[in-house]
Amino acid sequence: MDYLSLAQYTPELEHANSIAASFEAFDASSLSGTTQVDHATYRPHVPRIRSQLTSAAEIHALGPADSVPSYEFFFIYKHLVHDEDAPVPEDANKLRVSRSSFEALATRLRIPPAFVFALSRHYLPNGRGSRKLRLSDGSVAFDFWYFLPIRVQVKVTSRQGKAAASEPDDGERPGQMNPFHRLHLPAVKLSILRSCVAVFSRVQPGARKVTFMAVDFMHGRWPSVALEPQQRIDEVMQRAGGSLDGDGHFAHLVYLSSAVRWWTNALNSVNEQLIAHELRLTTALGGHDGALPPLETELTNISRALHSIAAHLHRYLSELRSVQSIAADLLSHYECVHADRPTTEADRDRFGDASRSTCQVLSQIEATHDFAKELEKKTQNILALLFNRIQIDSAKASHTLAEEMKRDSVVMRSIAIVTMFFLPGATFAVSSDARGP
């Protein structure tokens, strides 16, 4: 990777060989042959400039990342399906950026190798990072990056529904027990999908320049969800008019608030599914008719489904804690940004507003985390009820078996007594017959 030598490489934190090897794997698994990077630039009292970069040459044509006051955004997605009847490229599940374009972008922005390494392992848990960078013009920049885990609930389309109709429901569906895969909720006819958004931001407080890049790994079948943060960022910039005061804090708040809302909606659907399982279990335990499956089969299906939900909820709690940490670290990062330069009262007011907004989002994250803990406890309670019923049925079966064995023992004892009385006489008769007259 050519640009690696240009970056601020820190051998005490990063292993160059591992980063180079992981980028090769990232190129093969996640980078496509097509480049479609959404680019937007906002400058004071100048109409916004929006374009789609389609090649490394166009990225190079942007010129160096100078210190002109501006907000510059880069958005990278997978192939977004706006029309289900339109042809889909074979590499639709890869990011719409080629290797050469990604390297051009990384070189221009001087993206840290640690961020590239984390990109290559986006499917694994990743931490956060920050650094203070001195640019070629002598100005100071502050970088901050993280991976925002998200869970999005989606309806199964008619085309997907036909393919899924033959698949078993609940916990029998392949991959259900793996919390890194989707969770199917048949009662609400939704699936919860896992994804993440990689965010890299740079603030140059002296130049009033902000650079923001988001790499969204969400499946392209849900473009309205994937494009929502970009549209909200544009709305914020349009309302700001020609003013570029601030430090780009709002862009992080947009992604965090959208992610929390997606999380809350997904957890609410899990709650509805748990209620359905409770009713299903109550019906199964209350009695059966010909329309219901055998009790043992029904209890087994419910148990498998509940264990799948429990596995996912355990992972959800870990990911929500990560979202909490991102919001908390964001506050600390921007405190460092403002601590290194003299600030006016207006600057302090803006930072105070940003801090209050972050605390508001953090409060919602905590509420969502508590909701997930409540659902985990609820799942455990339903499993306990199911386990108690299974124990009762097992005890009844053992008692019935013991009664049958007792009856068998009585019968065998009766046979033994009868045999004891009649067998000697029969033996004597046979012996007499054998001697003859």
Give the model confidence (pLDDT) of 43-83 as tens digits. 887 888 899 999 999 999 987 766 678 899 999 999 999 88
Q: Per the structure block, which two tokens stand in for 375?
A: 């659902």
Q: Report how far residue 295's alpha carbon sits from residue 299's, in angstroms, rounded to the nearest whole number.
A: 6
Which region among 75-89, 175-189, 279-293, 373-387 has the lowest average model confidence (pLDDT)?
279-293
What's the DSSP call for residue 100? Answer: H
Which region among 21-30, 362-371, 374-383 has the lowest average model confidence (pLDDT)?
21-30
- pLDDT of 222 higher than 80: yes
Which region among 333-347, 377-391, 413-427 has the lowest average model confidence (pLDDT)?
413-427
Q: Per the structure block, which two tokens stand in for 290?
A: 């010909």
The rounded mean pLDDT for the chain is 82
Contacts of residue 15, defined as CB under 8 A and 6 or more positions apart, other chains included, come to none
Q: Report how far residue 223's alpha carbon sits from residue 40's, in angstroms, rounded to the nearest whole number.
A: 18
Of 230, 215, 234, residue with least CA distance to 97: 215
| Adjacent-strand bridge partners of 38 | 52, 75
- 194 or 239, which is more confident? 194
User: Is the distance from CB of 136 to CB of 154 less than 8 angstroms?
Assistant: no
Of 201, 209, 226, 196, residue with least CA distance to 36: 226
**Stated pTM of the model:** 0.84
Tell me the one-letter amino acid at 49: I
Q: In the chain, pLDDT over 90 holds for what percent of residues? A: 44
Q: Report how far residue 97's alpha carbon sits from residue 402's, in angstroms, rounded to the nearest whole number.
A: 70
CB neighbours of residue 120 within 10 Å: 19
As a residue count, the chain comes to 437
- Which whole number is the average pLDDT over 169-192? 78
CB neighbours of residue 76 within 10 Å: 22
